[in-house]
Amino acid sequence: MKKGKQKKERRARRQLAVADALAPRRVPLAELLAPARTLAHADSGYGKAARKHKLVMDAAPASISRYCEMAGDVDAAAQTFIGYPSCSLLAQDGLMQAGVCTLADEMVRTWPQYLSAEADGADDAARLNDAADALDVRGMFQRMAEYCGYFGGGMIWMDLGKSREDLAKPISLNPGFIPSGSLRRLVPVEPYNCAPLVYEAVDPLDTWYFRPQLWYVTGVGPVHASHFLRFVPSEPPILLRPSYNFFGVPQVQVALDYLRHFTGTRESAARLLRKFSLTVLKTDVDALLYGSDDSGIRARLQHLADHRDNDGIYAISNEDEDIVQLNTPLSGVTEIVRQALELLSCVWRIPVVKFLGISPGGFNATGESDIRSFYDHVESQRAKIFGHNFDTLSRVLCLSVLGHEAPGISWEWPSLWTMTRRERAEIAKIEADTASVYFNIGALGPEEIRSALAGEDGGRYAGLDPDDVPENDFSGEGELPSPGLPDGGAA
């Protein structure tokens, strides 16, 4: 009886051990909310700078998590920062590059130019455009868009010729602090090369509440935040900001789960394709099953495997042998794999025709509405990520190039959507018909119509002399000549 009881206890203990081994690991919130580790933390000067500035804010998220313990621990599957090394490895994946680079390229495909509303400010606008090209502002912003996708953000350091000691002090946007010619270059700074040094973690009404006022840059030391242009696509929740090094959530991390599902689906489909067809030879297999001489049956199977071909012929016994072909149905597999792949484009918010190069299906399907929706998304992202930074850089550029603020200089983001020649011709035809109606009812004269044509930016007749009106009969009794045809002649 004792032996049987001991066996039952051992069996019960083994079952408990297996269940415990299969249970997912529970990750405490304090571990999930721990600050991110970067190369700046390993720098020899970081500890000294942290003690100098009394950096104690990194412990705040761990203590705040105690208020959340009533909700229990979080599963290991909970989303937390995967780390910059993992982000760097994901940057090598082709689908990740397609998503990040497509969005980054579209954000800078059209670029603003500095313009002046006054005639005497045209030279200043041209100087600003030349300086922006020399600094490669467009290329720097494109790289920041890629950093937003791969690492959750990035920063551009504006080299104003300040010493290492002055880098820890804030800058002021005035001619006294930024003299003419002071902006030397723009330097991209990766998130893993910097770490927060000073930020407010107690007062939620403070300007620097969970916003680093002072950064530590590897090999440089403390640098004030005003020396940087900080690019973040979307701020994470307050409690998670230290975990993401006070940048955003990397888009490759968001798409990672969908990439894993697609990879698993694709590999399963490949395994199914390799074994979807099975040839069965019905013959006497006793020799194989009971250990007798099986050389004959093995040679026969090898002969079938070696000579199996669409153009080949195989002879079998008419009495005790038969060949059966078993095929696994593959219908629906393509749709499943394609749907898993298209989910990635949903995460990136990029149309399939642009992300994968797959033409839309269906009668009269062009995908034009999808492209327009995508351009609206890109323009909103461009305004959110680039807008404030480009405005700040423009002010610094004016002080450095012109030596003063330039309120008469303006800029705006060009639209990503461009009309085709046919669309422009159709709009011009509608406008010409409208002008003809206004002329016939006496609401407009030929001078007003010609002035409107001459003042249209980028129009076909831009630059015409409005006063040089052709000598025609404008009595109002007839109609205007047909647009684009000489002397009103027929086509």
Q: Is the dihedral of CA 367, 370, 376, 378 positive or negative?
A: negative
Structure tokens belonging to residue 55:
């950096």
> What's the distance, CA 299 to chain centroid?
58
One-letter amino acid at 393 equals: L
From start to end of 328-439, where are the E strands? 409-410
pTM listed for this prediction: 0.75
In 217-238, which positions are buried (b, 16+ CB within 10 angstroms) versus exposed (e)? bbebbbbbbebbbbbbbebbee
Domain carrying residue 428: 421-488
Q: Is the dihedral of CA 9, 11, 17, 20 positive or negative?
A: negative
Which of 294, 327, 360 is the C-terminal boundary of a domain?
327
From start to end of 39-129, where are the E strands? 74-75, 115-116
Cα distance between residue 366 and residue 167, in whole Å: 53
Q: How many domains does the chain have?
A: 2
Q: Is the dihedral of CA 177, 180, 181, 186 positive or negative?
A: positive
What is the reported pLDDT for 59? 46
What is the reported pLDDT for 296? 79
What is the reported pLDDT for 357? 77
What is the reported pLDDT for 397? 95
CB 250 within 8 A of CB 149: yes
CB 387 within 8 A of CB 412: no
* 135 Rama sector, left if φ>0, alpha if ψ -120 to 50, beta otherwise: alpha
What is the reported pLDDT for 248? 94
What is the reported pLDDT for 7? 53
Length of the chain: 491
Within 13 A of 18's CA, how many CA atoms are on the CB side? 6
39 within some domain:
no
369 within some domain:
no
Structure tokens belonging to residue 290:
């009971």
Cα distance between residue 341 and residue 350, in whole Å: 12
From start to end of 315-416, where are the E strands? 322-327, 409-410
361 within some domain:
no
- List CB contacts of 450: < 8 A, sequence separation 6 or more: 464, 466, 469
109 within some domain:
no
Query: Quick one: which of 371, 458, 427, 389 has its CA closest to 109?
Result: 371
What is the reported pLDDT for 252? 94
Structure tokens belonging to residue 9:
């206890």
Q: Which residue in this structure is represented by tokens 């983001």? A: 413
What is the reported pLDDT for 202? 86
What is the reported pLDDT for 383? 94
Show the low-confidence residues of the chain (pLDDT under 70): 1-33, 54-78, 287-288, 311-312, 360-367, 458, 463, 469, 471-491
260 within some domain:
no
191 within some domain:
no
One-letter amino acid at 381 equals: Q
CB 189 within 8 A of CB 164: no
411 within some domain:
no
pLDDT in tens, 219-232: 899 999 999 999 99
Cα distance between residue 2 and residue 172, in whole Å: 85
What is the reported pLDDT for 12? 47
What is the reported pLDDT for 367? 65
461 within some domain:
yes
Which of 267, 298, 327 is the C-terminal boundary of a domain?
327
Structure tokens belonging to residue 34:
């721990």
Q: Is 176 helix (H, G, I), strand (E, B) or coil?
A: coil
